[in-house]
Structure 1
Amino acid sequence: MSIKSKIALPFAKVICKQVYKWANNPVETQEKTFQYLIKTAKNTAFGKDHNFEQIKNYEDFKKNVSVNDYEGIRSYVDRMVEGESDVLWTGRPLYYAKTSGTTSGAKYIPITKESMPTHIKAARNALLFYIAETGDASFVDSKMMFLQGSPILKDLKGVQLGRLSGIVAHYVPSYLQKNRLPSWETNCIEDWETKVDAIVEETINEDMSVISGIPSWVQMYFEKLQEKTGKTISEIFPKFNFFVYGGVNFEPYKNKFESLIGKKIDYVELYPASEGFIAYQDSQTEKGMLLQLNSGIFYEFIPADQFFDENPPRLSVGEVELGVNYVIILNTSAGLWGYNIGDTVEFTSLVPHRIKVTGRIKHFISAFGEHVIGKEVEKALNDAIVGTNITISEFTVAPQVNPESGLPYHEWFIEFENEPENLEALATKIDESMQAQNIYYFDLIKGSVLKPIVVTKVKKGGFHEYMKSIGKFGGQNKIPQLSDNRNIADVLQNFKA
C-alpha cells in the first residue's frame, strides 16, 4: 500500500464531514451563495442592466432577471468574445467551453477563475466519497482511464476555447498524472475511432482500476477490447471495480455492461455540465446525486408541467418537494443568470438534497397530448428487460403521426446486443409499463387514439453510423432518447436491421 492510499481514507473522511456540514444546511448555504453572486457581479454590464445594486433577496432577483437560454444572453457573450471585460462576470473568462446548440449553432459557455475550481473539486470529492463509504482506496495505486475529448485548446481573442472534458484534462492533479490513461498524445487524437483503437493498445496490458466516460462510448471501448482478446473486461483488468459515468441514465446500458465486464461492479454517477458541476453520487446505498449547493451556483427550479406557462413559479432549494419533475435553472460564478440548461430533475431526498436527472425539457413526446418524458421511457425499457438476457446497445423514441395505415403510435428504435426471442412480447411489456406510468398515454391507448408501441430494430453499430452521418461521432455526443418529431427517426430508417 502506497502513501497515497494510506492518506486517502482519512482525507476522504475529513472532506465528507465538511461537505455534509453545508449539505445539511441547504437554505443557509444557498443564501450565502446568492449574496456572493449578486455582490460580486453588481458592477458588471449584466448586473447594471438588471439592477443588481437594488437586489436584496431572491424575490427581488426574480423581478429583475428573467429565465434565459443561450439566445437570451448571447448578446453579452458576443461582447465577451470580442474582448470586453466585466460583462457577465468580473474580468474575462479563463476559458470558453464550446458546445453545440440546436438553434444557436456553436455555444461558448464561459468558465472563470472562480468557477473552474468547482469542477475539479466536485470530481475529486465524488471519488473521496466512494473511498470514505467503502474504505477502499486501493484504486489510487492502479491505472485510471478517463475517456474524454481532446485537450487541445484554441485561442479565441486571448481566451482558451475547447470542450469541457478537454479543459478539465489540464487540471488532473499531479499525484494522479502517473496513473492516468490514456496518454496526452492519444487524448489529442481527434478522430474518435482512431482514438479508441489507440486507447485499446495503450491500456490492454495495464492494471486498470477505474474507468470513466459516457456509457455508450465506454461500451464501444469495451467491445473493442473483448474483440481483440476474447476475454471479459474483468479478466483483462482484474482490479477494475467501479465505473464513473455521467451524461445519460445508465440503467438501459447496465445489462450490457455487466455482460461485457463479467462481474458486478460499483458505479459512481456524476452530473457535470459546461455551465457548472451540478451533482455527484455520494453513496452506493442512497438514490440520487448530492446537489452541489456550495459550488458558486444558486439554483432555481420550475415545475416542468408549468414551464411553458406565461408566468411559471420559480422555486429556491428550500421550496422544492420530492417526486416533482423540475426544470433546473442556474445562476453561476461564471456569469450565467437565470440560465436554463434544458435538463429536468427530480429530488430523491431533501436535506441533504439529492437529485436524479429525468430528461430534457425539449426532449419529450406530446404529439397527442401524452406528455411522455425521459424517465418514463427509460423505466419502461428497463421494466421490459429486467430478469431477461436481453441487452440494449442504444435506443430512441419518436412519434409516428402519419402511418401508412391504422392508428398513429410511438416508434421505438432499439439496437440490441442480445435480441429478444419475441419482439412483439417485448413491445407489449414496454407499452404496459408506459401505460402504468403515464395516465395521458393510458387514456390515448384505451381511447383508440394511439395504438401500442412499435419496436423497430436498428442494425448492430447502426447508432454509431447514424452519429457519423450527422457529424457527431465522438465521446461527448449523446443521442436524445426521445423526440417530439421524426428528425432522428427518419434518418434512422437507413440503419434498420
Structure 2
Amino acid sequence: MATKILFNSVVNWFIKQRIDQIENFKKHPLDTQNNVLFSQLMYAENTEYGKIHGFSSISNYEDFKTRVPIVTYEDFEPYIERAREGEKDVFWPGAIKQFAKSSGTTNAKSKFIPISDECLDECHLKAGKDMVSIYVNNHPENQLFVHKNLRLGGSAENYAQFNTKFGDLSAIIIENLPFWVEITTTPSKKVSLMSEWETKLLAIVDEVKNEEVSSLTGVPSWMMVLLQNVLRETGKKNVSELWPNLEVFFHGGISFKPYRDQYKKLMGKHVNYYEIYNASEGFFGIQDRAGAEDMLLMLDYGIFYEFMPMEDFGKENPRVFTLKDVEINTNYALIITTNGGLWRYLIGDTVIFTSVEPFRIKVSGRTKHYINAFGEELMIDNVENALAEACKQTNAAVLEYTGAPIFMNDKEKGAHEWIFEFSQAPENLEEFSTIFDNHLQCINSDYEAKRYKNITLNKPVIHVAKHNLFYQWLQSQGKLGGQNKVPRLSNDREYLNPILKLNQSLH
C-alpha cells in the first residue's frame, strides 16, 4: 500500500504540470489554433493531397478555406482506401498503419478512420492524460492511483490487411498504453481486447469483482449494464458496497442526462461525474469544472476547428467560422482538420458554445440525427432537456429511446412518434407525454409554432418498450457493447419501424 501511495503522489505531481499548458491555450486560443493549422499544412505539403490543394503556398486562413474543400467520409474515402492498402504520402506523410473501424451511430457501412502516430500520441493518448490531470487539479485529495480504473472499451478485432490494421479505437488505444497505465487499470488487456460482447462481459465481471476500483471510464449505457451484472454476481446492493473508494466516472459517447438519477441510485454514494467528448476522428473536449454541464474545447491536440451554422447546413455556399467568430447558443456543425490526415472533415456532430472566454461547448446532436420533417428543427439536446423534465415530474427513468416523424397524409396531420424503454415507468404515461411535449415547446420555438393549436403537428405518439428491447435490437444489428449507440432521432422511419416491429414480437 505504501508503494501505491507513493506512486499516486509522484504521478499526481507529474500530470499537474500539464495544467499550465492548458491554461496557456485558454489564454491564447487563436494563436494556438493558428499554429496547429500551419504546422500541419507545412508537415503535409508534399503529400498527394497537399500538392493537389497547394498547401505549400497557403499563407492565411482565407487561402486554406478557398483551396481546401469541406468533405464528408464518402468524399474522402478513396484516399483512405489507398492508405489502407499501404500507399504512402496520400494525405499524411509516410504510411498509416492503423485505422479505427467505426460505423458511427447507425450506418451499416463501416468507416475506417486513419490513426497516424501523431494522432495517437498527440491527441488520443494525450487526452487520456489530460482527463486525469484536470480531475486531479480539481480534486487534490484524490486517490486515483492508489486503486484501479475500470475501463470499458469496444470490440478489439484487429485484422492484418495490406500490412495495415483496423479495429475499434478503444482497442488501438489499449494496445498502445504505457505500462504505468496498464498496471493501474482493470480488466486486463487480454480481457479488454476480447471481441464478442456477451462473452467479454462475463470475463470482465469475473476479473473486476475482486478489484479495488476508484474510477470508471466508458459509455454510460454499457457501463450500467456492466455494473448491474457485477452487483448481481456479488450480491451487493449498490456500487459503494463493492467499491467504497470509487470517486469518479469519466463518461462520453451519449448524453448523461437520462442516466444521471439512475447512476445516483446505482452508486449508493456521492461520485464525481466528468464528461469527455471523443470520437474515432479525434478527442475534442473535456469537462474541466466539477459539476459543469459543458466541456473545455481542447485546442492543442493537433486538431484545427471550423464551425458551420446549422441553418447553412446543406447550402451550396455555407458560412464557415473559426473560433474567432463563433457565438454562444448557436448550433454549429463541426468541421475538423486533424493530425490523422483528415482535411476540413465534416464529422457529423453539432455543438453549441456555452462560453468563448475560454471556449467551452456542449454536444447538441448530429447533423443526421434530428427531426425536421415539418420545419421544427428538433435536436437531441432539446429532447434530452424535455425528457429530463418529464422524468423529474413523473418519477420516471428512461434507459433508451428513439423518435421519428409520422408524415402527413390526406387525412392526418403530422406528429412525432417515440418509443421509450423505462427502468422506472412514469406514474402516469399521459402526464409524462404532456410534460415532454410542453417542455419541447418551451425550449424550441419552431416546434412550438408547429404544435400551436395542432396546426401542423398533432401531440406526440408515445410507446413503452418491453424490457431489453433496445439491447435486443442492437444485438440483431451486431452492435453490442463498446461505443455502439441507439439512434436517438431520425428524420425518417428507418430505425423506428423495425424497433416498433421487434417490440411487438417480444413477450
Same fold (TM over 0.5): yes
The correspondence of residues 101-140 of structure 1 with structure 2, limited to 5 A, is: 105-117=109-121, 118-140=123-145
Match of 2:34 in 1: 31
Shift of the 466–103 alpha-carbon distance from structure 1 to 2, 3 Å rule, reads: closer
AA aligned opposite 2:75: G
- 1:169 aligned residue (164, 174, 185): 174
AA aligned opposite 1:257: Y
**Could you tell which deviates more after superposition, 188-197 or 435-444?**
188-197
Match of 2:407 in 1: 401
SS at 2:378's partner residue? Answer: coil
- 1:322 aligned residue (324, 328, 331): 328
Match of 1:71 in 2: 74
Q: Does 1:54 align with 2:57?
A: yes
Match of 2:466 in 1: 459
Distance in 2 separating the partners of 1:41 and 1:132: 36
**CA displacement 1:147-198 (0-9 Å, x = unmatched):** 1024452222122211100000013231232231112232232221221122
**Residue 132 (structure 1) shift:** 0.8
Match of 1:192 in 2: 197
Shift of the 403–462 alpha-carbon distance from structure 1 to 2, 3 Å rule, reads: farther
SS at 1:445's partner residue? Answer: helix
**Could you tell which deviates more after superposition, 245-254 or 194-203?**
194-203
Match of 1:16 in 2: 19
**CA displacement 1:319-343 (0-9 Å, x = unmatched):** 1111111111010111101101100
Distance in 1 separating the partners of 2:151 and 2:236: 23
**CA displacement 1:254-273 (0-9 Å, x = unmatched):** 11111211223111111111
Match of 1:333 in 2: 339
- 1:201 aligned residue (194, 203, 206): 206
**CA displacement 1:274-317 (0-9 Å, x = unmatched):** 11111111221444111121111111000111111211111111
Shift of the 366–152 alpha-carbon distance from structure 1 to 2, 3 Å rule, reads: closer
AA aligned opposite 1:431: D
- 1:283 aligned residue (285, 289, 301): 289
Distance in 2 separating the partners of 1:264 and 1:406: 49
Contact conserved, 2:214 with 2:248, CA < 8 A, in 1? yes
Match of 2:503 in 1: 495
Distance in 2 separating the partners of 1:461 and 1:64: 50
**CA displacement 1:391-421 (0-9 Å, x = unmatched):** 1111111112258985431112110011111
Shift of the 219–404 alpha-carbon distance from structure 1 to 2, 3 Å rule, reads: farther
Match of 2:150 in 1: 145
**CA displacement 1:51-76 (0-9 Å, x = unmatched):** 21221111001111111011111121
Structure 1: which 5+ residue stretches go unaligned? none
Contact conserved, 1:85 with 1:92, CA < 8 A, in 2? yes
Distance in 2 separating the partners of 1:409 and 1:362: 19
Shift of the 176–113 alpha-carbon distance from structure 1 to 2, 3 Å rule, reads: closer
SS at 2:110's partner residue? Answer: strand
- Aligned-pair identity (%): 37
Contact conserved, 2:353 with 2:360, CA < 8 A, in 1? yes
SS at 1:349's partner residue? Answer: strand
Distance in 2 separating the partners of 1:419 and 1:230: 24
AA aligned opposite 2:288: D
AA aligned opposite 2:214: S
Shift of the 387–206 alpha-carbon distance from structure 1 to 2, 3 Å rule, reads: farther
Match of 1:342 in 2: 348
- 2:83 aligned residue (73, 80, 86): 80
**CA displacement 1:58-117 (0-9 Å, x = unmatched):** 100111111101111112112212221111110011311111266782221111121111
Contact conserved, 1:9 with 1:137, CA < 8 A, in 2? no
Match of 2:92 in 1: 89
Contact conserved, 1:8 with 1:131, CA < 8 A, in 2? no
SS at 1:105's partner residue? Answer: coil
- 2:365 aligned residue (335, 348, 359): 359
SS at 2:352's partner residue? Answer: strand
SS at 2:495's partner residue? Answer: helix
Q: Does 1:7 align with 2:7?
A: no
Distance in 1 separating the partners of 2:409 and 2:139: 53
SS at 2:375's partner residue? Answer: coil
AA aligned opposite 1:479: V
**CA displacement 1:28-70 (0-9 Å, x = unmatched):** 0011111101111111100111121221111001111111011
**Could you tell which deviates more after superposition, 326-335 or 199-208?**
199-208
Distance in 1 separating the partners of 2:88 and 2:403: 44
**Residue 205 (structure 1) shift:** 2.1
SS at 2:462's partner residue? Answer: strand
**Could you tell which deviates more after superposition, 404-413 or 376-385?**
404-413
Match of 1:223 in 2: 228
Contact conserved, 2:97 with 2:163, CA < 8 A, in 1? no
AA aligned opposite 2:374: F
Report the number of matched residues: 497
Distance in 2 separating the partners of 1:54 and 1:305: 32
Contact conserved, 1:330 with 1:338, CA < 8 A, in 2? yes
Distance in 1 separating the partners of 2:39 and 2:503: 51
AA aligned opposite 2:274: V
Contact conserved, 1:151 with 1:170, CA < 8 A, in 2? no
Distance in 2 separating the partners of 1:166 and 1:288: 27
Match of 1:419 in 2: 425
Shift of the 461–326 alpha-carbon distance from structure 1 to 2, 3 Å rule, reads: same
**Residue 23 (structure 1) shift:** 2.1
Contact conserved, 2:157 with 2:194, CA < 8 A, in 1? no
Structure 2: which 5+ residue stretches go unaligned? none
Distance in 2 separating the partners of 1:290 and 1:482: 26
Match of 1:100 in 2: 103
SS at 1:96's partner residue? Answer: strand
Contact conserved, 1:281 with 1:289, CA < 8 A, in 2? yes
AA aligned opposite 1:57: N
**CA displacement 1:222-280 (0-9 Å, x = unmatched):** 22123331411111111111111111110111111112112231111111111111111
Match of 1:45 in 2: 48
AA aligned opposite 1:461: N
Contact conserved, 1:445 with 1:451, CA < 8 A, in 2? yes
CA RMSD between the two structures: 1.8
